[in-house]
A and B are shown apart, each in its own frame.
Chain A
Amino acid sequence: MKGRPAPAYGLLRQIDALARAVLPGGLTALLLMLAAVPVGVPGLVPAVALPCVFFWSVFRPAALPPPVVFALGLLQDLLTAAPLGAGVLVLLVVHGLAVRWRRLLVKQSFLLVWVTFCGFTAGAAALGGALQALLAWQVLPVPPGAWQALLTAGLYPLLAWLLTRVHETMMRAEAAP
């Protein structure tokens, strides 16, 4: 945008760009807070955080820089009873890997992306479980972690559908002059 003469409604345009830049992180944070409402489903917050971070890392990495991922991880850890920092690390690792492989993933069909995401989920559950066990210095039972991973993988299609809509809207807005 630099080097071009600012249009008459420059302020509006700037606000628009800013809103678009903030939207992925803000939406994810909002979803996290909504997921923290006690509805009787355990582990909903991490199960919402991981698909969101994965989706934006793959399809719009510029809107989700690592500091934002860090902040989201911190929010997730504070909203849940997990040891501080474990969720941060998991989200950062997922973000890093997703950004690295995004050139491959962007071109694939939804199903393949989902399968990849399931792999990510399993890895994230293993890493998170290991970190929690290490930090608490005790062996943790496996079923809650497995439930967590299943819930995360199952929530992905729903969240991806929603986020795809948002993403398409944003692209359309950017394509407009």
Chain B
Amino acid sequence: MIRLSVPLRQALSRLSLPLLIALAFGTMLLGKADALLAERARMVLADALTPIWAALREPVGALRDAAREAGTLLDMRAENARLREENARLHRWQAAALALEAENAMLRRQLAYLPDAAPGFTTARVVADGGGTYARAVLLAAGPNHAVRKGQVALDERGLAGRVTEVGARSARVVLATDINSRIPVALEGSRARAMMVGTNGARPRLQYWPAGNRPQEGDRVVTSAEANAFPAGLPVGVVRWTASGAAEIELFARLDRLDVLRLFDYGLGGILPPEAVARPEPRAKR
């Protein structure tokens, strides 16, 4: 340590505060003049302190969770009242549902109704779009011992997507409802009127051939119909949309532009696709 005389040391200690205050002003000017320097110094400090903060994150998080928990405890009274009210409302709905179920069962008994068997299904991943004979089709990857058969109905999580047309050893092709070759018998859910859904290669297939006097309304729900024994009745398809030019189109529930997984349902329907009858288009023979 450097030996200094006592008066000098006293003078230095008295001077140090004003000097440092001047230095603080200098720092301010420096920080103002070179913003990058301050930024870099902050980053260096943050880098050095990050381990400490990382170690403290757990207890701090626990504390914060505890505080939030206390908050929810305080809110519990209001929450409880709300749940009670909601429960009462749901009980009313449950009563309505039970009454409807009972009524439905009674009506079915009167009709000697045969319920449909629950269909089995396979889930397969969509691996490629397009290709093959069809403009709107997807290729599915199926396992080596898959149970995919021609004519099975493909649904995504929202509604009807299409139908299996070709089956290979490890893959299957599904022609989508939007393909121009697709003709699907549908029914308007409200009026039970039958119609055809005709693909156009566009995003929305057309609705055609509805019975006279049963003009489909904008927003009507469209479901499959069991006509022609190709589809089971009642699968959700989409809703009716009228275009500006006066054509009825169907906005599909299924999101065909972003398919990733399809469920293939086996309803055991022969329908209009008898096995191997329409294997693939043969080149027309020359005459």
Contact = CB atoms under 8 A, between A and B. Distances in A.
B42 interface: yes
Contacts of B72: none
Contacts of A95: 17
A112 B41 CA distance: 39
Interface residues of A, number: 30
A93 interface: yes
A69 B45 contact: no
A40 interface: yes
Given A70-B20, A92-B20, A37 B53 contact: yes
A78 B45 contact: yes
Contacts of B57: 37
Contacts, number: 73
Most A-side CB within 10 Å, residue of B17, B21, B23, B32: B17
A131 B57 CA distance: 33
A86 B38 CA distance: 13
Interface string B164-206: 0000000000000000000000000000000000000000000
Nearest to B55: A37
B6 interface: no
- Tell me the interface secondary structure of chain B in the complex: helix
Contacts of B17: 66, 92, 95-96
Interface residues of B, number: 27
B45 A89 contact: no
B45 A83 contact: no
B21 A89 contact: yes
A24 interface: no
Nearest to A40: B64
Contacts of B49: 33, 36
Given A37-B56, A69-B20, 13 more contacts: A33-B52, A34-B56, A38-B60, A39-B63, A65-B16, A74-B27, A78-B38, A84-B31, A89-B21, A92-B17, A93-B21, A131-B28, A135-B31
5 contacts: A66-B17, A70-B24, A74-B27, A75-B45, A84-B38
Interface of A: 33-34, 36-40, 65-67, 69-70, 73-75, 77-79, 83-86, 88-89, 92-93, 95-96, 131, 135
Closest 7 CB pairs of A and B: A84-B31, A85-B28, A85-B27, A89-B24, A88-B24, A84-B38, A66-B17
